[in-house]
Structure 1
Amino acid sequence: MTAGTVQALVVCSTASGAVTSAGGPVSCGTDAKGNPLYLSTVQAYVVDPASAGYFDAIATPFDYTQAFGFWSVAFTSVVGLYFACLGIGTVVNFLRRA
């Protein structure tokens, strides 16, 4: 399932682009510094409106509480596994020397 399509868009940019009117670039005003802006074409990935909900769900704020919970479980599991393996190694060494 595609979330959108690649389309040609017309935007204002500082470079005089391929959009022309009677042989010259089309001006669309100036930027904050007074530099002239011209219409130009770019290719962009345009999201389908039906897929907008998917991207909105991804863009939710980061939940630090949930991340802390996941990290705590993972860290506790690693430390627990370390001590379990340490105990097994101690028993194996004891049996090997006995």
Structure 2
Amino acid sequence: MKIGSVQNVLICKPVFSSDEASELDRQVCPPSASQYFHVQSQQAYVLEPSSADYLDGLSAPFDYTAAAGFFALAFTVVVGTWMVSAGAGAVLNMIRRG
């Protein structure tokens, strides 16, 4: 499942002085107060809008309550299986020694 693609994007990179920003830079990236910007091309992995729900689900916080429930169930099954097998082993030893 493809969730995005590599594309060239334009970013506004801050510069230290207004001399470093050309007229084109000022048109594309207007200055903010005394901060000027330079237009720069950069490759970026751009996500498809349809994959947003999938990625939001992955970034959900870990549910410790659900994990504790699964752990308790698994632990109970393991201990229960051990107790049943220990009881069956005791019965078989009693029959064998009989």
Inter-partner Cα distance in structure 2 for 1:4 and 1:56: 15
| Higher strand proportion (structure 1 or 2) | 1
Structure 1 gaps of 5+ residues are 13-26, 31-38
Inter-partner Cα distance in structure 2 for 1:88 and 1:7: 65
1:1-98 alignment, distance < 5 Å: 1-7=1-7, 29=15, 41=42, 44-98=44-98
Number of matched residues?
77
Inter-partner Cα distance in structure 2 for 1:48 and 1:97: 71
| Higher helix proportion (structure 1 or 2) | 2
Inter-partner Cα distance in structure 2 for 1:85 and 1:8: 64
Structure 2 gaps of 5+ residues are 17-39
Aligned in 2, Cα 1:55/1:91: closer, same or farther, shift over 3 Å?
Answer: same
**2:23 maps to what in 1?**
none
Counterpart of 1:2 in 2: which secondary structure?
A: coil
Task: Give the residue type in structure 1 aligned to 2:49.
Answer: P
- After superposition, the C-alpha distances for 1:5-26 in whole angstroms (9 at most, x for unaligned) are 24456779xxxxxxxxxxxxxx
TM-score normalised over the length of structure 1 = 0.59
TM-score normalised over the length of structure 2 = 0.59
Percentage identity across aligned positions?
45
Inter-partner Cα distance in structure 1 for 2:93 and 2:9: 71
Aligned in 2, Cα 1:28/1:85: closer, same or farther, shift over 3 Å?
Answer: same
CA RMSD of aligned residues (A): 2.8
**Greater Rg over alpha carbons, structure:** 2
Inter-partner Cα distance in structure 2 for 1:94 and 1:40: 81
